[in-house]
Chains A and B, each alone.
Chain A
Amino acid sequence: MIEIRIHGRGGQGAVTTGQIMAIAAFDDGKQSQTFPMFGVERSGAPVQAFARISDEKINIRSQIYNPDIVVVLDSSLLDAVDVTSGLKEKGTLIINTNKKPADLSIKGKFNIHAVDATSIALKIFGKPIVNTPMLGAFSKITKAISLKSLTKAIDETFLETKGKKIAELNKEAITAVYNQTK
Chain B
Amino acid sequence: MERLADYINDGILKSEMIHAESEHSAISAALGAEAMGVRTFTATASQGLALMHEILFVVSGMRLPVVMAVANRALSAPINIWNDHQDSISERDAGWIQLYVESAQEALDTIIQAYKIAENRKILLPVMVCLDGFTLSHVYEPVNIPKQKDVDKFLPRYNALFKLDPKKPITMGPIGFPDTYMEFRKETHEAMLNSIEVIKNTNNDFKKSFSRSYGDGLIETYKINDADYAVAAMGTVCGTTRVVVDELRKQGKKVGLIKIKSFRPFPKQKITNCCKNIKGIAVIDRNISLGNEGALYTELRSAFYNQKKKPIINGFIAGLGGRDITLSHIKTAFNKIENSSDTEWLL
Contacts and interface: CB of A to CB of B under 8 A. Distances in A.
B135 interface: yes
A124 B236 CA distance: 41
Interface stretch (A55-63, A134-142, A174-182): A55-63
Contacts of B132: 61
Contact of A60 (B134, B140, B243): B243
Contacts of B240: 59-62
A40 interface: yes
A61 B140 contact: no
A23 interface: yes
Chain A interface helix/strand/loop/mixed: mixed
A36 B327 contact: no
Interface stretch (B167-175, B270-278, B318-326): B318-326
Nearest to B245: A59
B141 A33 contact: yes
A34 B243 contact: no
A34 B142 contact: no
Given A35-B134, A62-B326, A22 B239 contact: no
B288 to A, nearest CB: 20
A32 B142 contact: yes
Interface in A107-144: none
Contacts of A36: 138
A167 to B, nearest CB: 18
Contacts of A26: 142
A23 B132 CA distance: 22
B135 A22 contact: no
Interface residues of B, number: 22
Contacts of A58: 141
Contact of B140 (A23, A63, A65): A23
Contacts, number: 53
Interface string B302-317: 0000000000000000
Contacts of B322: 38
B142 A62 contact: no
Given A35-B134, A59-B242, A65 B236 contact: no
Contacts of A18: 140
B239 A59 contact: yes
Majority-rule SS of B interface residues? loop
Contacts of A34: 139-141
A75 interface: no
Interface string B138-164: 111110000000000000000000000
A146 interface: no
Contacts of A61: 132, 135, 236-237, 239-240, 325
B100 interface: no
Contacts of B134: 35, 38
Nearest to B136: A61
Given A26-B142, A32-B141, A60 B135 contact: no
B81 interface: yes
Contacts of B206: none
A25 to B, nearest CB: 9
Contacts of B142: 26, 31-32
Contacts of A38: 82-83, 134, 138, 322
Most buried by B among A18, A19, A38: A38
B139 A35 contact: yes
Contacts of A65: 326
B75 to A, nearest CB: 17
Contacts of A22: 140-141
Nearest to B325: A62
A92 to B, nearest CB: 22
A36 B83 CA distance: 13
Contacts of B324: 62-63
A32 B143 CA distance: 11
Contact of A59 (B81, B140, B243, B325): B243
A62 to B, nearest CB: 5
Nearest to B83: A38
5 contacts: A33-B141, A35-B138, A62-B240, A62-B326, A62-B327
Top-9 shortest CB links A-B: A59-B239, A61-B236, A38-B134, A59-B242, A33-B141, A35-B139, A34-B140, A61-B239, A60-B243
Interface of B: 81-83, 132, 134-135, 138-142, 236-237, 239-240, 242-243, 322, 324-327
Interface of A: 18-19, 22-23, 26, 31-36, 38, 40, 58-63, 65
Given A31-B142, A33-B141, A59-B242, 14 more contacts: A19-B140, A33-B140, A35-B138, A38-B82, A38-B322, A59-B240, A60-B327, A61-B135, A61-B237, A61-B240, A62-B324, A62-B326, A62-B327, A63-B324
